[in-house]
Chains A and B, each alone.
Chain A
């Protein structure tokens, strides 16, 4: 068995002769939480969409459990990897239980309905995400945080080894942001699920992740422990801010607040 669950090798993406991602290498190790951070337009979402086969790389490849993901059958990928996008469309009148049942699609034969095992997993995922009382409610009647939990329950029903999320906390107020991140970290522990997500809030990323991945102008700028990533140098070069960094008493993780914007990049440290 390879020691990485997802391996990104020399990945490049070009779109209309513009290079979006350039030579990305990343090994995602099992049971860890990875957060990708970077400024707007740096290529974070593009990287997630390529890892999840929604974009084809110009060069390089993505391996899932050692196999090139673009050569795997769709259902086989979905049984190991679940992906939630940032924005979602779809039917407004689908109820929570039905949405969660879609997570079982990759485990079912196409002519069959849900087997007993599927039904048990659906209930289990509804329970794990705290949606027991809302299982029969229509998605459109739920709050933003509850909707997000329902989508996570759907992804969970895939029984994935790795859960990939694109900004799971956008559009949520701060208490719901924490609720979602706590849910994700709990699942990481209880279900041994590897997590790879894009987060907008750098402090959240530092607090809830084992590893931070900094993407800057389409390249992998740096990758490692939150303490090694949240440095004045990185924050100024990548995010163009002067920041004060300190240790959070409780979590022993780094936190920062931005002091000022660096203008025109001529104040490089």
Chain B
């Protein structure tokens, strides 16, 4: 094996710049995490925050941190990871830089089923995660069928996605009108909010984040090959249909788990992978870890801003993401 060291390995080639950027993101994530625990209507200093995390006591400050801010920040981070991964996967699977669970309708599929359960069958609200997944997966399959015409073309995916999204969106609107007396919970669901999210939400979403992140890192090479185009990928020995279906299911699961916890939080899946691409390139071996860390960071920062900027009024984090994301989306469109 001595000789192997002298051979350059394209997989392990040390690209210090890329690692440095990811480490930089990581530093930013830690900063965002601490900031989110520090800020709020109750003034709590850093020492108390750290004490509450590592040596909890029964003081009010400790309880606020452990029961409110800490789980909320963790939920924000996990949601950011899942949506960023889902976006990065979908952009590769659909060979479309504008794919995002929100834009192409997967989120609205999850949202419609979620809202049906919340409004019509509130007693079954524990079914929201599984229902959201079924909705997300159905939307993904419908988009695929609509866009399929002897192969997948990026433009048809987007158009089919917009159509499906509008269709499910109409269903959501209709429900909100018919059951206007019950919409309060549904309204925050529509905008994506982390308000009052706590440990139960963390335990809902955490398994998806852990499994999704590990699988994404293992499947990075397959995505690198898939985006060379179907014929080339097949020629290289990739089972294109199975890979694409499996990855779409994975993205739908990641998006659905996030939707079931925060509702329809848009733009994270779009802007995070792109921001990472701009900084460290398109290789999925770097894109996935970069998206994981930056996704967590951005949602934590956005939620902290949404919670504290207009205190005592709290705005949904989805509004902040839209304000950040819409201009970025337009910027990408102009770059294409």
Chain A residues near B218 (CB-CB < 8 A): 110-111
| Interface positions of A from 50 to 103, Cβ below 8 Å from B | 52-54, 73-79, 81-85, 88-95, 97-98, 100-103
Beyond A52-B231, A85-B231, A90-B228, is A116–B7 a contact (Cβ under 8 Å)?
yes
Asked if B224 is at the interface of the complex by the 8 Å CB criterion, the answer is: yes
Q: Is the interface of B mostly helix, strand, loop or mixed?
A: loop
Quick one: closest A residue to B228, CB to CB?
A90
Chain B residues near A77 (CB-CB < 8 A): 237
Chain A residues near B237 (CB-CB < 8 A): 74-79, 105-106, 158
- The stretch of B9-17, B20-28, B76-84 that contacts the partner chain: B9-17
Across the interface, do B221 and A88 meet the contact criterion of CB distance under 8 Å?
no
Chain B residues near A91 (CB-CB < 8 A): 224, 227, 281-283
Asked if A114 is at the interface of the complex by the 8 Å CB criterion, the answer is: yes
Asked if B185 is at the interface of the complex by the 8 Å CB criterion, the answer is: no
| Interface positions of B from 201 to 245, Cβ below 8 Å from A | 218, 221-222, 224-225, 227-232, 234-239
A93 to B238, CA, bound (A): 21
Quick one: closest B residue to A151, CB to CB?
B232
Across the interface, do B236 and A78 meet the contact criterion of CB distance under 8 Å?
yes
Partner of B7, one of A73, A102, A105, A120: A120
Asked if B95 is at the interface of the complex by the 8 Å CB criterion, the answer is: yes
A91 to B97, CA, bound (A): 11
Asked if B3 is at the interface of the complex by the 8 Å CB criterion, the answer is: yes
Asked if A49 is at the interface of the complex by the 8 Å CB criterion, the answer is: yes
Across the interface, do A88 and B7 meet the contact criterion of CB distance under 8 Å?
no
Partner of B234, one of A53, A88, A154: A53
Quick one: closest A residue to B243, CB to CB?
A74
Asked if B1 is at the interface of the complex by the 8 Å CB criterion, the answer is: yes
A116 to B231, CA, bound (A): 28
Across the interface, do B229 and A116 meet the contact criterion of CB distance under 8 Å?
no
Quick one: closest A residue to B218, CB to CB?
A111
Most buried by B among A15, A49, A97, A102: A102
Across the interface, do B228 and A89 meet the contact criterion of CB distance under 8 Å?
yes
Chain B residues near A84 (CB-CB < 8 A): 232, 235
Chain A residues near B1 (CB-CB < 8 A): 116
A135 to B8, CA, bound (A): 10
Quick one: closest B residue to A76, CB to CB?
B237
Across the interface, do B238 and A74 meet the contact criterion of CB distance under 8 Å?
yes
Chain A residues near B239 (CB-CB < 8 A): 73-74
Beyond A91-B227, A101-B10, is A15–B150 a contact (Cβ under 8 Å)?
yes
Beyond A102-B225, A105-B237, is A89–B7 a contact (Cβ under 8 Å)?
no
Chain B residues near A52 (CB-CB < 8 A): 231, 234-235
Asked if A22 is at the interface of the complex by the 8 Å CB criterion, the answer is: no
A100 to B11, CA, bound (A): 11
Across the interface, do A85 and B232 meet the contact criterion of CB distance under 8 Å?
yes
Asked if B4 is at the interface of the complex by the 8 Å CB criterion, the answer is: yes
A119 to B12, CA, bound (A): 11
A133 to B270, CA, bound (A): 37
Partner of A106, one of B7, B95, B229, B236: B236
Chain A residues near B225 (CB-CB < 8 A): 102, 105
Chain B residues near A111 (CB-CB < 8 A): 218
Chain A residues near B12 (CB-CB < 8 A): 113-114
Across the interface, do B236 and A105 meet the contact criterion of CB distance under 8 Å?
yes
Most buried by A among B95, B150, B230, B231: B231
CB distance from B278 to the nearest CB of A (A): 11
Asked if A122 is at the interface of the complex by the 8 Å CB criterion, the answer is: yes
Across the interface, do A102 and B229 meet the contact criterion of CB distance under 8 Å?
no
A92 to B282, CA, bound (A): 8
Asked if A123 is at the interface of the complex by the 8 Å CB criterion, the answer is: yes
Chain B residues near A82 (CB-CB < 8 A): 235
Partner of A74, one of B8, B10, B234: B234
A49 to B281, CA, bound (A): 31
CB distance from A81 to the nearest CB of B (A): 7
A133 to B232, CA, bound (A): 25
A122 to B10, CA, bound (A): 9
Quick one: closest A residue to B4, CB to CB?
A116
Beyond A105-B225, A119-B7, A119-B9, is A98–B283 a contact (Cβ under 8 Å)?
yes
Quick one: closest B residue to A16, CB to CB?
B150
Quick one: closest B residue to A82, CB to CB?
B235
CB distance from B106 to the nearest CB of A (A): 23
CB distance from A50 to the nearest CB of B (A): 12
Across the interface, do B283 and A105 meet the contact criterion of CB distance under 8 Å?
no
A93 to B278, CA, bound (A): 11
Chain B residues near A89 (CB-CB < 8 A): 95, 227-229
Partner of A88, one of B150, B222, B232, B282: B232
Chain A residues near B236 (CB-CB < 8 A): 78, 102-103, 105-106, 154, 158
Given A106-B236, A158-B236, 11 extra CB contacts under 8 A: A54-B230, A78-B236, A81-B235, A85-B235, A90-B232, A91-B227, A92-B282, A93-B282, A105-B221, A105-B236, A158-B237
14 A-B residue pairs with CB within 8 Å: A15-B150, A53-B234, A74-B239, A77-B237, A89-B95, A91-B281, A92-B282, A97-B8, A97-B10, A98-B10, A114-B9, A116-B7, A119-B4, A119-B8
